[in-house]
């Protein structure tokens, strides 16, 4: 599983102390790869963020486009502004 570093930062920002510990466990699982926002992608990610409303979601959408693997989000409506439906999985 690939996790956007920008999304991870947003998750930590919103997390309680207990939830932050769970995030620590998640990102240290062998199957999880945290993908940094690269300098070369910053401009386009910023432009995508103008459409979706958040840097983290924009970065996740960029990763989905680059890998053709759906983004999992609680904000599918925003993700659908830049991705086709096949690349968006709604989480509750």
Environment class of 50 (CB within 10 Å of its CB; exposed 0-12, middle 13-18, buried 19+): exposed
Mean pLDDT of the chain: 96
Please report how the helices 5-14 and 55-67 are oriented relative to each other, as an axis angle in degrees rounded to 10.
Answer: 150
For range 13-40, the mean pLDDT: 96
- pLDDT tens digits along 60-75: 999 999 999 999 999 9
Burial of 66 (0-12, 13-18, 19+ CB in 10 A): exposed
Percent of the chain with pLDDT over 90: 99
The pTM score is: 0.91
Closest CA to 49 of 37, 59, 40: 59
Instruction: Provide the CA 88 distance to its chain's centre, in angstroms.
Output: 11
Residue 92: which pLDDT band, with cuts at 50, 70 and 90? confident
């Amino acid at each position: 599983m690939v996790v956007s570093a920008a999304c991870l930062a947003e998750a930590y920002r919103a997390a309680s102390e207990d939830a932050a510990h769970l995030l620590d466990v998640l990102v240290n699982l062998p199957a999880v790869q945290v993908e940094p926002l690269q300098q070369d992608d910053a401009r386009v990610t910023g432009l995508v963020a103008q459409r979706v409303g958040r840097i983290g979601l924009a970065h996740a959408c960029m990763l989905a486009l680059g890998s053709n693997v759906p983004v999992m989000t609680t904000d599918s409506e925003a993700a659908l502004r830049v991705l086709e439906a096949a690349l968006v999985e709604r989480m509750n």
